[in-house]
Amino acid sequence: MADTLTDAAPGYPMPRAAGCPFAPPPAVEELRDAAPLGKVRIWDGSTPWLITRHADQRALLTDPRVSNDDLRPGFPHVSAHRAGIARTTPRMITNTDAPEHTRLRRMVTGPFLIKRVEAMRPAVRQIVDRLIDDLLAGPRPVDLLTALALPVPSLVICELLGVPYEDHAFFHHNSSRALDRSLPPEEAGAAGRALGGYLAKLLDQKLTDPADDVLSELGERVTTGEMTHDEAVHMGVAMLIAGHETTATMIGLGTLALLRNPEQLAVLRGTEDPKAIAGAVEELLRYLTIVDSGIRRVALEDIAIGGLTIRAGDGLLFDLAAANRDPRAFEGDAAGLDLGRPARHHQAFGYGPHQCLGQSLARLELQVVYGTLYRRIPGLRLAVPFEEIEFVPDGTTYGVRALPVTW
Ligand code: HEM
C-alpha cells in the first residue's frame, strides 16, 4: 500500500488557484477530502506523509513518537536551503524534543502567560494609536506594512524582551534574511549569527544591570545555572525572529482580506465588544493560516493511523491551512470568511508541545490593531487595484509584499 502511495505521490508544495489568493491550493484540499493521509514528493525527491485533516494533525502533533529534531534522517526540510541552515543552527526551543524542549520552554512560559500579556494591553494600545496618528498626519497613499504592520510587533517584542527599538533596522534586516529562502544558507546563517552576537552583548548588559524585561529574566536563569548563556541567547533570537514577521503578515493580509469582504469589515468596524473582536481575530487566523508551508516532523517509531502505517524515519508534513478548512472541524462554509464563526480551535498556531509560544501576544496585538484601525480610519481602502497586489508565495509566512492604502 505504502509503495503505491509513494509511486503516485504528487509534488508538494502545490500552487494556489489563480485569482484565489486566500485559499489553500485546491489539490491539497482534494487530498484532504479523498483520504486521511497520503504521500507527496518534495524538492529532494523524498516522499513524506502529508497530514491534512484537523483531527489527525492533533493526534500526531501530540504523539511522543513524532520528533521535531530537524537533524534526524528523514526530516522533511522545506528546501535545500533550510536543510543547510538546520546543520548550523544550535539546538533550541524550535528543534528539540522532550525532555530538552520541555526544559527550555519552561524558561520562557512566564512572560507569555495570558495574565502577563494582558497587562501589556494599555502599552500596545498606545503604540497602535500613535502609529495611526502618524499615519493620519502623513502623506497618502501609504504602505500599511511599513507604516503599521511591521512597527507594531517590532515595538511590542522590543518592549517585552528589553531590546532598544532604535536597533530595529538592524534586527529586522537580519531576521528577514535568516528566514529568506532565496539566500544561500551561509548568508542566512550569518544573519542568524549577527543577531546572536547582538543579543549576547545585550544579555551581558542585563546580567550586570537587570531591568523588568524577558532578557533580564533569562539572564537571571543563566546566573542560577538553569540555562547556559548560549541557550539564553538562542531563545532571544528565536523570539525576536518569530515575534514580528508573523504578526506583521497577519496585519497586512488580514486587512486585505477584510477590504475584499466589506460586509465582514463592517461587522468589525461596528463593534467595540472585546469578545466579538477576539472572535474575529481567531477567524482571520483560521481563514488566512499564514504559516503556509506548514510544520514538519519525523516519525521515531512505526505509527498506525487512518488504516495506514507511518514507518519510523518517515517525514511528516502538516498542512495547517488544509486542517483549518476541514469541514469535519468547522461548521458551515469552511472556505468562507465569517467573523461570527467559533474558530478558536484552529491550528494557525500549530498544536501540541511546540504550539506557538507567542500566541497570546500575537492575539493581543491583532485584537488591538483590528479593533482600532478600521474604526479610526473608516474610509480605508486599497490605493491600487487588487490585481496589482503582490503576494509572497515562498516565504516562511504567506503574505503581501506591500499594501498601498489610502482613505
Ligand atoms: C500571528 C502570529 C503568529 C503565528 C501565525 C505563529 C505561528 C506559529 C506556529 C504555527 C508555530 C508552531 C511551529 C511548530 O510546531 O513547528 C509557532 C511556534 C513558535 N512561535 Fe509563533 N506565531 C505567531 C506569533 C508569534 C509571536 C508574536 C512570538 C513571540 C515571541 C512567537 C514565538 C514563537 C516561538 C518561540 C515558537 C516555537 C515554540 C516551540 O517550538 O516550542 N510567535 N508559531
Q: Which helix (H) or strand (E) holds 129?
A: helix 121-137
Render pLDDT for 295-344 as a digit per residue (tens, 0 to 9).
999 999 999 998 999 999 999 999 999 999 999 999 899 999 999 999 99
> Three-state DSSP class for 402?
coil
User: In 3-state terms, what secondary structure has residue 239?
Assistant: helix
The CA distances from residue 165 to 146, 154, 325, 385, in Å, are: 15, 8, 38, 34
Q: Which of 7-16, 177-186, 240-249 has the weakest average pLDDT?
A: 177-186
Alpha-carbon torsion 238, 239, 245, 247, what sign? positive
pLDDT score recorded for residue 87:
86
Average pLDDT over residues 395-404: 90
Nearest CA, atom 15, ligand 1: 354
> In sequence order, which residues have a C-beta less than 8 Å from that of residue 46 and are 6 or more positions away?
74, 76, 315
User: Position of cell 517509531?
Assistant: 301
Q: Tell how far the Cα of 51 is from the centroid of ligand 1, in angstroms.
A: 19
Ramachandran angles phi, psi of 315, nearest 5° = -80, 150
Output the pLDDT for position 305: 95
What is the average pLDDT score of the chain? Answer: 93
Mark 283-314 as b/e (b = at least 16 C-beta within 10 Å): bbbbbbbbbbbbbbbbbbeebeebebebeeeb
Q: Note the pLDDT of residue 66.
A: 98
Between CA 284 and CA 362 the distance in angstroms is 12
Closest CA to 362 of 240, 217, 250: 250
pLDDT, tens digit (0-9, with 9 covering 90-100), for 48-92 = 999 999 999 999 999 999 999 999 999 999 988 888 888 888 889
Residue 178 pLDDT = 77
- Measured CA to CA, the distance from residue 92 to residue 168 in angstroms comes to 23
Question: Residue 2: pLDDT above 60?
Answer: no
The per-residue pLDDT for 363 is 98
**Ligand 1 mean position to 265 CA, how many Å?**
26
Question: Phi/psi class of residue 342: alpha, beta or left (left: φ > 0; alpha: ψ in -120 to 50)?
Answer: beta
Q: Ligand 1 atom 42: the closest Cα is on which residue?
A: 358
Copy the grid coordinates of residue 188: 542566512
pLDDT given for residue 266 in this prediction: 96
Rounded to whole angstroms, the Cα distance separating 153 from 260 reads: 24
Kindly report whether the peptide bond that precedes residue 111 is cis, defined as omega within 30 degrees of 0.
Answer: no
Q: Distance from the CA of 357 to the center of ligand 1, in angstroms?
A: 5
User: 2-406: which CATH number, 3.40.80.10, 3.40.50.1860, 3.40.50.300, 1.10.630.10?
Assistant: 1.10.630.10
DSSP string over 40-68: -B-TTS---EEE-SHHHHHHHHT-TTEE-
Q: How far apart are CA 276 and CA 326, in angstroms?
A: 23
Residues with Cβ within 6 A of ligand 1? 93-94, 105, 238-239, 242-243, 246-247, 250, 290-291, 295, 348-350, 354, 356-358, 361-362
Count helices and strands (H / E) in the chain: 17, 12
Per-residue confidence band for 361, with pLDDT thresholds at 50, 70 and 90: very high
User: Which residue in 136, 171, 169, 145 sits closest to 377, CA to CA?
Assistant: 136
Question: What mean pLDDT is predicted for residues 103-121?
Answer: 91
Reported confidence tier of residue 115, pLDDT bands at 50, 70, 90: confident
CA of 71 to the centre of ligand 1 (A): 20
Q: Which of these, 403, 370, 377, 399, lies nearest to 388 by C-alpha position? A: 403
Q: Residue 229 above 80 pLDDT? A: yes
**Residue to mutate (ligand 1; options 60, 101, 356; most atoms within 8 A of CB):** 356
- Cα of 308 to ligand 1 centre, how many Å? 30
Residue 217 has pLDDT above 90, yes or no: yes
Q: Which residue spans within 141-270 are E strands per DSSP?
A: 142-143
The per-residue pLDDT for 314 is: 98
More reliable by pLDDT, 174 or 137? 137
Q: Per DSSP, what are the bridge partners of residue 41?
A: 11
- Per-residue pLDDT of 116-160, as tens digits, reads 899 999 999 999 999 999 999 999 999 999 999 999 999 999 989
Q: What is the pLDDT of residue 395?
A: 72
260-281 pLDDT tens trace: 999 999 999 999 999 999 999 9
Q: Position of cell 503578515?
A: 249
Nearest-angstrom CA–CA distance, 318 and 226: 33
